[in-house]
Amino acid sequence: MKVAPSILSADFSKLGDDLVDIVSNGADYIHIDMMDGNYVPNLSFGPMVMKSIRHLTDKTFDCHLMIEEPERYIKLVAESGADIISVHVEATKHIHRVIQQIKQTGTKAGVVINPGTPVEVIEAVLADVDLVLVMTVNPGFGGQTFIPSSLNKIKQLKALREENNYNYEIEVDGGINEDTSKKCLEAGADVLVAGSYIFSHNNRKEAIDSLRN
Ligand SMILES: O=C(CO)[C@H](O)[C@H](O)COP(=O)(O)O
């Protein structure tokens, strides 16, 4: 399994230092949340900020677009240093086309579902994606409480992967801590995104290790 600290919870006045710190404390992926103030009721940062920290690490930049019509930004995000680009199925009319668009940039493609969206909605693209991100909170803000009904979706995605020989990683995001991480791993998650739990911990190595165990 992998741990992907979400830099949404970093101290933006020293973002580079925080990035280097989580890498040295065991991060596998760096989760980068881009919000447009439209698809979600919050704004974060965009490709320029990601580009400015790209040189600090070789770790995978796992970019989660919370953007309406993400097709407008795929090229820019890929050129700014993303290794994985994940888009919400609810944010585009053409999920299959956007996934192809991401792959054409040479970047891995992910699809994201909100807590209110069933797995069936993305079944037709599961063969095409490298990652499925199951939101375990409603997107837009760090520090929210984990929604337990997401666990069944993780199990369902794991079973579908086994039945069909699909290749995607199952990632979870929102309210992940020492307790909820165990439940997600038992259900079949491969990648745990955690923001506030890691960044508010006084020992980040301990926090990351506790998610693994
Ligand atoms: O995508 C996100 C918000 O939309 C964040 O990555 C997520 O909420 C992580 O934050 P926390 O671990 O504090 O819940």
pLDDT in tens, 23-60: 999 999 999 999 999 999 999 999 999 999 999 999 99
In whole angstroms, what is the distance from residue 42 CA to residue 24 CA? 29
ipTM of the complex: 0.96
Residue 26 counted as an annotated binding residue: no
Q: Average pLDDT, stretch 165-183?
A: 98
pLDDT of residue 184: 98
Instruction: Measure the CA–CA gap between 84 and 148, rounded to whole angstroms.
Output: 26
Chain center to CA of 150: 15
As a whole number, mean pLDDT of residues 56-83 equals 98
d(CA 126, ligand 1 centre) in Å: 23
Q: What is the pLDDT of residue 187?
A: 98
The enclosing H or E element of 131 equals strand 131-135
Domain that holds residue 170: 2-212
Half-sphere exposure (CA, 13 Å, Cβ side) for 126?
20
Q: Which atom of ligand 1 is nearest to the CA of 141?
A: 3
Sign of the Cα pseudo-torsion (12, 13, 15, 21, in order): negative
CA–centroid distance, 33 to ligand 1, in Å, is 8
Residue 142, marked binder:
yes
Establish whether residue 5 lines the binding site of ligand 1, counting it when its CB lies within 6 angstroms of any ligand atom. Answer: no
In this prediction, residue 183 carries a pLDDT of 98
Residue 6 has pLDDT above 90, yes or no: yes
Is 116 annotated as a binding-site member?
A: no
* Closest ligand 1 atom, residue 198 Cα: 12
Is 213's pLDDT higher than 90?
no
Gap between the Cα atoms of 11 and 180, Å rounded: 24
Q: Where are the alpha helices (DSSP H) in the chain?
A: 15-24, 47-53, 74-79, 95-104, 150-164, 178-187, 196-199, 204-212
The pLDDT assigned to 123 comes to: 98
Q: For residue 70, give the CATH number of its domain.
A: 3.20.20.70
Nearest Cα to Cα of residue 34 among 65, 79, 74: 65
What is the predicted pLDDT for the residue at 96? 98
Nearest CA to ligand 1 atom 10: 142
Structure-token match 């090229």, residue found: 75
0.95 exceeded by pTM? yes
Structural domain tally of the chain? Answer: 1
